[in-house]
Structure 1
Amino acid sequence: MATGSTPPRFPRVALFDLDGTLLDSAPDMVATCNRMLAARERAPVEAAMLRQHVSKGARAMVAVTFPELDEAGRDALVPEFLQLYREELGRHSALFDGVAEMLRALEDDGARWGIVTNKAEYLARDVVAGLEWRQRCAVLVGGDTYPEKKPHPLPLLEAARQLGVEPCDCVYVGDDERDVVAARAAGMRSIAVTWGYRLDGEDPETWQADAMATLPHALLDPTAWPRP
């Protein structure tokens, strides 16, 4: 807590995962998988089951949708998934309640924020454009922007480099254990959020993040963010 008359401030740079952290993108992915199933005259997927796997990426979505396929069969369907997903992108998804206010609070405090996601960069850029964030998002790193993706620290380190700051000046916020692992390896503080997508049995308490948040509104309070 701050002492005296100086109010606490947000970190100078906040970096975020995208799916399951800022954006509830599961409805877009459910629609994509159901289009694939409908084309094969099969019943829709159970949305609640699919939601758990959203943070795991396109291959996980295909694996849940077509559990009878082997790895090669699933990989063969990934291009179809990505093509249809781009068509569904932003049609059904929405920001998690409180995210818009949180980002505005960061900006009002003079902080910069950006996105480091394992989503392909071209898809992430489509999302950012659809949300009218292109002028607000200070940096965007996708899962294929660099040779490594999370949990490797390289995407976070490159985001800090692009912004001209040290990793220790950043806080990374995500809903998956690999977000915390990547932040720790990059020398960044981390916040694990519990409103995103997790498999049964995944316990954020065990990830050893520097802080946890159960609702985006909690991050409107500067004291909820970990300090150096």
Structure 2
Amino acid sequence: MEAVLFDLDGTLIDSAPQLVGALNQLRQQYDLPPIPFLVGRPYASHGAAGLLKAGFNMDKNDPLFDARVQEFLDIYKEVFNLNMQCMLGIEELINTLNLRKISWGIMTNKAKKFAQPIVSSHPLLKSAACLIAGDDVSVPKPSPEGLIKASQMLSIEPSDIIYLGDDRRDVMAANDAGMVSMAARYGYLEVGDDAKSWGAQYIIDKPSELLDYLNL
């Protein structure tokens, strides 16, 4: 393998505190009690739509959905990059990839206005060779478009790239792009969701297991 691409939320960074916190601020505005963090955490990989489903039982068919999304984003933009931490074990993984001169980058469905500041300001993540955000492509994951674009930016064939993510959509995108698909079971999996059913070529329970796969 010549490169590794990562999903962002729940794979590289632990963004659930900011996302669930913003959701609970919005619930407070509607005189609703906060949802427990561990209840909201699994929805952190599903963006605003998933969080509104968890916090308001609201989906895109609700006539108030778009307005509620904007309300959520207005809160989130004030907190999204506060005290941002990487997932446990990611620092060792990235430092080893850098040391061994293995290219790595990020492909996320997160909007660039959020993803770019997080990556640029984080001392570990700013060494990423590429960042493809959700609005850098015409179709988000599970479409392989973003991964193919990333492989072109790296000038590395998809078959020589691992894509690691914590959601079924990540695995689908990797498989369709012709990459080695790897599921991060340490991420934001919903209760009862079995990563073994996603069709990933490999499943890891902690970031260091990726290094084992690379024999590093």
Deviation track 1:4-55 (CA, whole Å, cap 9, x = no partner) reads: xxxxxxx321000001111111000111012112223321122111111111
Decide which moves more: 178-187 or 210-219: 210-219
Rounded to whole Å, the distance in 2 between the matches of 1:67 and 1:134 is 34
From 161, 172, 179, give the equivalent of 2:170.
179
More helix by share: 2
Match of 2:102 in 1: 111
From 47, 54, 70, give the equivalent of 1:79.
70
Q: CA deviation at 1:135?
A: 4.4
Give the residue type in structure 1 aligned to 2:159: C
Decide which moves more: 128-137 or 44-53: 128-137
Match of 1:64 in 2: 54
Number of residues of Structure 1 aligned to a counterpart in Structure 2: 215
Give structure 1 stretches of 5+ with no counterpart.
Answer: 1-10
Q: Which TM-score applies when normalising by structure 2?
A: 0.92
Contact 1:12 1:110 in 2 (8 A): no
Rounded to whole Å, the distance in 2 between the matches of 1:198 and 1:183 is 18
Q: CA deviation at 1:143?
A: 1.1
Give structure 2 stretches of 5+ with no counterpart.
Answer: none
Match of 1:48 in 2: 38
Q: CA deviation at 1:116?
A: 0.4
Q: CA deviation at 1:164?
A: 1.4
Q: CA deviation at 1:99?
A: 0.2
3-state DSSP of counterpart to 2:136: coil
**TM-aligned CA distance change 1:134 to 1:192, over 3 Å:** closer
Match of 1:199 in 2: 190
Q: Map 1:72-151 to 2 at 5 A.
A: 72-133=63-124, 135-151=126-142
Match of 2:11 in 1: 21
Deviation track 1:73-131 (CA, whole Å, cap 9, x = no partner) reads: 22221112112112111325421111011011111111111000011111100110231
**TM-aligned CA distance change 1:131 to 1:210, over 3 Å:** same
Q: CA deviation at 1:222?
A: 4.2
Q: Which TM-score applies when normalising by structure 1?
A: 0.88
3-state DSSP of counterpart to 2:40: helix
Decide which moves more: 107-116 or 216-225: 216-225
From 154, 160, 176, give the equivalent of 1:163.
154
